[in-house]
Amino acid sequence: MPYENRKIFGETRQIYKAPRPNPPSQFTYQPKTIGGTIVAYVAIILFVVIGFAIFSGR
């Protein structure tokens, strides 16, 4: 759970610990995240497919 009990002014309260904020844009390259690697692989595959289509078509 992202909640944490802390003592504030002598009384215990449950504080919500927010996870790490998302980057401002989804297109920023994130090699450590699974989503970032999937996006990178999809981009590479699209570039290869487009390259093969151009080379084979003309």
Tell whether 6 is covered by a domain: no
Tell whether 12 is covered by a domain: no
| Nearest of 54, 36, 34 to residue 44 by alpha carbon | 36
| Nearest of 7, 46, 13, 43 to residue 26 by alpha carbon | 43
> What's the pLDDT tens digit per position in 15-57?
566 555 555 555 555 555 666 677 778 888 888 888 888 888 7
Domain count, the chain: 1
Tell whether 48 is covered by a domain: yes
The pTM score is 0.35
Range of the domain at 33: 23-58
